[in-house]
Amino acid sequence: MRDIEKMNMAHDASSRRIRRRKRGRSLYAFLVVVLAFAIVITLSMTVFFNVKTIRVTGDADYSAEEIVQAVGVFEGDNMMRLHLDELKTYAEEKLINAETVDIRRQFPNTLVIDVRKAVPAYNVHYADGTLIISQKNKILKNTMDPAEGLVTIIGYQPEETTPGKHLTAMEERYDKIFTAFQEILQENTFSVPITSVDMTDMNDIIINFDNRIEFDMGNWSELNYKISFAEQVIEKQPAGKEGYLTMIGTNQCAFRNKTDVINAQKAAERRIAAQQEAEAAALESMQNTENPENSEIPENPENNEIPEQPAEEFADVPPEMQSLPDTWE
């Protein structure tokens, strides 16, 4: 029995030694892996993956030297240490006429910088001038002279006006309306182009088509539907006709010829001027008479005339547009 007990005790001691050796080997292997990983990281951040070649691509109107200087990366810089998102943001602000700057690593030692030029798309009028904006809302220029051939936005109140930055409004609702118009302008090709949008009064937005027809569309709800309806009405007018289009309710537009409106305004101005002259003559007559209280103000026969209003043409929503509503909230 004693011999058996001695054998068991020896076996237990041997097992413990084996387990200790295994644990020691595992710990040693782990330390070797950690050390190797640290060496690789250190070498990659110092010796390996240093920039030897910078390749510039794209269509921006900048030289390769200007682009590299704007990015701020040079040969010898370690690619693993570069914060590409920060470099991209910095370069896009420096390269004002660039829409996007994309930077990517091409291991082992090449950095690729792709720069795409910005395309002017909008004149945004504000109190101190005009901001020329790209298709992706980058401010390209702050000027007093609007660019020709761009859609003009009136009534937008910008918070940011610095070239190189992106356009933002003082109030979020201006951004929502502007974005809604941008989507429609980019997704549709209009036979009668939109030349300006006046959002000064958000409940009475005015759209100018082809610099000859003003469309009073009311608020910006069902924006796509209203613009499509106005386009169809304008297309039915004689080429070059000028006038004023007003949305009535949800399914009707009234059109007034510009010449008729101008003539009516001039007639009203003449009647007002004649009335003022008659009143002035009557007052002078009263002052020159001995009994001014017995004097009578002569009647102006033109005062009794009802001003002639320009004729309105009404257009109903065509059947194919009855299911068009596209509500913007």
Domain of residue 209, CATH code:
3.40.50
Whether 197 and 241 map to the same domain: the answer is yes
Residue 23: inside a domain: no
Residue 222: inside a domain: yes
Whether 79 and 193 map to the same domain: the answer is no
Read off the tokens for 227.
């613009």
Whether 231 and 147 map to the same domain: the answer is yes
Whether 124 and 254 map to the same domain: the answer is yes
Whether 84 and 136 map to the same domain: the answer is no
Whether 273 and 185 map to the same domain: the answer is no
pLDDT value at residue 325: 41
Whether 158 and 238 map to the same domain: the answer is yes
In this structure, are residues 139 and 167 in contact, taking their beta carbons and an 8 Å threshold?
yes
In this structure, are residues 202 and 219 in contact, taking their beta carbons and an 8 Å threshold?
yes
pLDDT value at residue 285: 80
Read off the tokens for 190.
């209009």
**CATH, residue 110:** 3.10.20.310
Residue 26: inside a domain: no
Coil, strand or helix at 105 = strand
Query: Could you report the per-residue pLDDT of 182-203, keeping only the tens digit for each?
Result: 999 888 778 889 999 999 999 9
Whether 254 and 264 map to the same domain: the answer is no
Whether 161 and 206 map to the same domain: the answer is yes
Task: Supply the range of the domain harboring residue 142.
Answer: 120-258+315-321
Residue 36: inside a domain: no
CB atoms within 10 A of CB 311: 10
pLDDT value at residue 100: 95
Q: Where does a domain end: 117, 143, 158?
A: 117
Digitized pLDDT (tens) for each residue of the chain, 329 residues in all: 555 454 555 555 566 665 655 565 666 666 656 655 555 455 444 546 799 999 999 999 999 999 999 999 988 899 988 999 999 999 999 999 999 999 999 989 999 999 999 999 999 999 999 999 999 999 999 999 999 999 999 999 999 999 999 999 999 999 999 999 999 988 877 888 999 999 999 999 999 999 999 999 999 889 999 999 999 999 888 888 899 999 988 788 888 888 878 888 888 888 899 898 888 888 888 877 755 555 455 555 555 555 555 556 666 655 555 444 443 33
pTM score, whole prediction: 0.71
Sheet holding 110-117, edge to edge: 53-58, 110-117, 98-106
Residue 160: inside a domain: yes
pLDDT value at residue 264: 81
User: Per the structure, how many domains does the chain have?
Assistant: 3
